[in-house]
Amino acid sequence: MEPPRAPALRRLLLPPLLLLLLPLPPRARAKYVRGNLSSKEDWVFLTRFCFLSDYGRLDFRFRYPEAKCCQNILLYFDDPSQWPAVYKAGDKDCLAKESVIRPENNQVINLTTQYAWSGCQVVSEEGMRYLSCSSGRSFRSVRERWWYIALSKCGGDGLQLEYEMVLTNGKSFWTRHFSADEFGILETDLTFLLIFILIFFLSCYFGYLLKGRQLLHTTYKMFMAAAGVEVLSLLFFCIYWGQYATDGIGNESLKILAKLLFSSSFLIFLLMLILLGKGFTVTRGRISHSGSVKLSVYMTLYTLTHVVLVIYEAEFFDPGQVLYTYESPAGYGLIGLQVAAYVWFCYAVLISLRHFPEKQPFYVPFFAAYTLWFFAVPVMALIANFGIPKWAREKIVNGIQLGIHLYAHGVFLIMTRPSAANKNFPYHVRTSQIASAGAPGPGGSQSADKAFPQHVYGNVTFISDSVPNFTELFSIPPPTSCVSPAAPAPEELLVPPLEYLTPLPAPPPPSTYRRLSPPPGFRTPSAPTPRRDRPPAPAPTLPDWVLALLRTPPQTPRAVPPPPPAFRGSPPPPRPPPEFARRTPTPPLEYLAPLSRRP
């Protein structure tokens, strides 16, 4: 039986999760770049890529009208004197932006026939002359660098260009289309996908064991759901990165869906932690109405902030800058909500421990473990924004983020494993007992903190060194002297056995008057059939009056034994009905039937 407020929890979860499934506009982010540019400006940014120190290469094909000659491809790198000095520098014109380029580094590609390295030639098409340039460029540097590609024509009448570029790092499947800051992401995601699949199947197996013992509560189902959504998210990430490694483009909608599932798993797990901190399914069976409203408002706000963050990243992040997800107002808002959730979590755990100190074996390690988890996300965001180089940030942050999620799921899986040696197991009330434990009192009110009975969490023992005693783990032991037991309800008081309350029924009257035979013990034994090879046995020599005396039953009534000591202090049993009040015990009818005379 599920808790009475389980539908309310579903209503609490569904609206925020549905918001995460809103369709978002795709964002062009690929290392196979093509497009048609037409602008009135004289300097335009095209794309960026992080090349390896020795294996980076750019293959391009440009085409533009000969009348728009002559245009230049400019290659900037991430040195402070280069790209940061010219991008969005309003005080610099086109010539000033070109002046920071070092000609000795071959950072300029003149798209003219005079520049042999550009591979340009004049072609005619439908009566118009075009400059078609096809060539490539290799990149050498002392370390991995971000390179930025721009188009310029200083002093001209605007830019017009059809371009197609392929930016690669080596020839391996794992590196070819990946930027240097993305190396290892596909391998990392595949590794964590296998680990989370293992965690999900273990959680399903533990859930099967808990269901058999009626301990599969809503919070554990939420953990299983978070692990399953995490597996789906990593699966979609691996599909996206695998397609990206093949063609250099990928499916951006698939990546956005993976991000939304990743955020959904995080939100479900966060809600589960807050509910456990408040004692739901551990010390009480339902959340109060005000608590449900607060959780609904908080989770909706958190979900909206996540959606705004994804939209902001897709629409407003400048592709000319290497930005991290949390480098935005929405990102800093998420950090603030994470801190607020931790404060709420601390308050809820402290209140639960104050009312139920016997739950310290669960709540103390639970609070300590997830305090680290709550602070890991803001600390990771700050380190990523200010402490990790931009050319290595994405792959490092991806590994740290997945490691944080693995830590959270692994700790909870260990703390809730159904093992007799697990001293931190949180659940002690079965799902079939939640309805009666959480039922309102006579006045219609219910104390949320007293919904579940007091339970001392002691150390469970083993039947042997290898076989745990599951019976002791999944049963409710009686309260010890350290916890004062609550007064039993009237219906829970022990009652004496039925034999002390129910009178003996009267024998039914005989339907027909017939001669009854005596019991087998009082019947006259028939003479055995004499054997032919032996003489017959002699007849009995006792007188008839002695035999009749032996057949007469005792007339003293049977004494009723006193009740057990546990019932001597209980109220006297109710009086028997009037029809049995003055009846004296009588022997059975078979004792009153006259004995047949011996011939």
CA distance 578 to 228: 69
- 463 DSSP 8-state letter: S
pLDDT-based confidence at residue 257 (cuts at 50, 70, 90): very high
280 neighbors 252 (Cβ within 8 angstroms): no
User: Each residue of 477-508: pLDDT tens digit?
Assistant: 444 444 444 444 444 433 444 444 445 556 66
In this model, does residue 273 exceed pLDDT 90? yes
Q: Is the model more confident about 562 or about 226?
A: 226
Percent of the chain with pLDDT strictly greater than 70: 68
CA distance 286 to 300: 20
User: Each residue of 327-361: pLDDT tens digit?
Assistant: 777 778 888 888 888 999 999 999 999 998 888 98
Domain ranges of the chain: 32-169, 184-415
51 neighbors 180 (Cβ within 8 angstroms): yes
In this model, does residue 464 exceed pLDDT 70? no
CA distance 345 to 335: 15
Residue 591 pLDDT: 52
User: Each residue of 527-564: pLDDT tens digit?
Assistant: 555 555 555 656 556 677 767 777 776 666 666 666 65
In this model, does residue 474 exceed pLDDT 50? no
Q: Is 325 exposed, middle or buried (0-12, 13-18, 19+ CB in 10 A)?
A: buried
Residue 219 pLDDT: 93
* C-alpha separations of 16 from 54, 96, 257, 307, 427 in Å: 47, 50, 15, 10, 28
* Average of per-residue pLDDT values in the chain: 76
Question: Which CATH number applies to 184-415?
Answer: 1.20.1070
pLDDT-based confidence at residue 19 (cuts at 50, 70, 90): very low
Q: Which of 5-9, 268-272, 325-329 has the highest mean pLDDT?
A: 268-272
Residue 316 pLDDT: 79
> Beta 159-169 vs 32-39: how paired, if at all?
antiparallel
CA distance 531 to 533: 5
User: What count of other Cβ atoms lies within 10 Å of the Cβ of residue 521?
Assistant: 6
231 neighbors 196 (Cβ within 8 angstroms): yes
CA distance 564 to 311: 75
Topology of domain 32-169 in CATH is Jelly Rolls (2.60.120)
User: What count of other Cβ atoms lies within 10 Å of the Cβ of residue 447?
Assistant: 10
